[in-house]
Amino acid sequence: MKYPLATTTWDDKEYAAIRRVVSTGKFTMGSEVRKFEDQFAHKFGVAHAVMSNSGSSANLLAVSAVKYSSFAPGEGRNEVIVPAVSWGTTYYPLTQMGYRLKFVDVDVNTLNAGVEAIEMNIDSRTAGIMVVNLLGNPSELIPIRELADSHNLFMIEDNCESLGASYQGQFAGTVGDIGTFSSFYSHHISTMEGGISVTNSEELRQVMTSLRAHGWTRDLPETNFVHNKTGDPFEDLFRFVLPGFNLRPIEIEGAIGLEQIAKLDQIVSGRKANALKFKEMMSKYPDISTQKETGNSSWFGFSMILTGALQGRRSELIQELNASGVAVRPIVAGNFTRNPVLAHLPHVELPNLPVADQVHDNGLFVGNHHYEMNDEFLVLEKAINNFLA
């Protein structure tokens, strides 16, 4: 491909980190993971970071931790407001923990669920808000936080696509009760597989730590929010107190993460520089809508939605892009409610979702990278011009 969706951000430092861990013979979660968690939390100005084996697992930990903590909603409140455009594992943990999904449409410009759409859907059954910062673009995080607080709702940020983004001086992923991140290959930083859940709550940190490894108390302090220890190590190392999982990362991922987080500022600045060039180029095409920035986006990728006279011609554009060597994919999963899996997910009666439908039928996105993309943009521009001709 002349213009791929994703490329590596590794160099010799990441491979040296792998070799260092391999030479120790200690591979399961340990000191390297703890160091990465500490540096990640420090980088984003939060009290705690809990690493897991994927961004999807980070979401599962976040939702499960709310359920088994003082953040759990009261009786009769079992609906969570979610945007209609996101990835499957935004939704699955919610239904797995007994919540019903209440889908709201996204804003045509930002592709995120706006404050007004969220507020209109809050009622006596609402338990929380799952905010998704889509394609690097932060939602209106501070107003949504204020809205959640005023209605006593939990707020989780799925920030897996928006590492390094910010809103009103606060990093995306740090405004909610818990924020989740992904370090999968195609994301801003890569630890092969990996996810991180961050919080300022010591209680939520402890619950996530327990849930991550079987629901035991082994990694908790003697006196804790989950279940106090007895002081007998034989008993305490094998006491199961929560219905947990095995979502542990490995030491290699933690070691790679230490090298990757050191490069984050450079990675994000490179993506922002590319975004300026992309927006300038796309301004010549009035019938191709691109995502409008809220706050400071970290530009995961570049969305395009065909409008006006170009509606209904997406397959032609995709054919031209593929022929030109441009990798292309849907905008996340389009209108998620149109996926067959919805039959297995408890949800409130669906409203009309016209913007999500537009994203589903006429949307696509191309990749962004940490390096200068002048050549890639020339290929993209030529393909678009050929399509229009």
Distances in whole angstroms, Cα of residue 85 to Cα of each of 57, 78, 134, 321: 19, 21, 8, 23
Give the number of other CB atoms < 10 A from CB of residue 177. 21
Among the CATH numbers 3.90.1150.10, 3.40.1080.10, 1.10.630.10, 3.30.1330.60, which is that of 264-388?
Answer: 3.90.1150.10
Q: Identify the segments of the chain with pLDDT beneath 70.
A: none
For the stretch 203-240, pLDDT in tens is 999 999 999 999 999 999 999 999 999 999 999 999 99
Tokens at residue 343, please?
A: 């039959």
- Rounded distance between C-alpha atoms, residue 102 and residue 116, angstroms: 15
Helix or strand holding residue 63 (H, E): helix 55-67
Helix or strand holding residue 56 (H, E): helix 55-67
- Rounded distance between C-alpha atoms, residue 305 and residue 311, angstroms: 8
The pLDDT value given to residue 343: 98
Give the number of other CB atoms < 10 A from CB of residue 276. 10
Measured distance between the N- and C-terminal CA atoms of the chain, rounded to whole angstroms: 23
- Rounded distance between C-alpha atoms, residue 253 and residue 185, angstroms: 12
76 within 8 A of 125, measured Cβ to Cβ = yes
Largest separation between any pair of C-alpha atoms in the chain:
76
What's the pTM value of the predicted model, to 2 decimals? 0.97
Q: Taking CA 97 as the corner, what is the angle to CA 197 and CA 118, rounded to the nearest 5 degrees?
A: 75
- Burial status of residue 277 (CB atoms within 10 A of its CB: 0-12, 13-18, 19 or more): middle
Antiparallel, parallel or unpaired: β 178-182 and 195-199: antiparallel
The pLDDT value given to residue 300: 98
The answer to whether the 12-261 and 264-388 domains have the same CATH topology is: no
The pLDDT value given to residue 57: 98
DSSP class per residue in 263-293 = THHHHHHHHHHHHHHHHHHHTT-TTEE-PPP
- Burial status of residue 371 (CB atoms within 10 A of its CB: 0-12, 13-18, 19 or more): middle
The pLDDT value given to residue 65: 98
- Rounded distance between C-alpha atoms, residue 45 and residue 98, angstroms: 32
Domain 12-261 sits in CATH at: 3.40.640.10
Side-by-side strand order, sheet with 178-182 = 48-52, 195-199, 178-182, 154-158, 126-132, 79-83, 100-104
Question: For the chain, what are the domain ranges?
Answer: 12-261, 264-388
Positions annotated as catalytic residues are 187
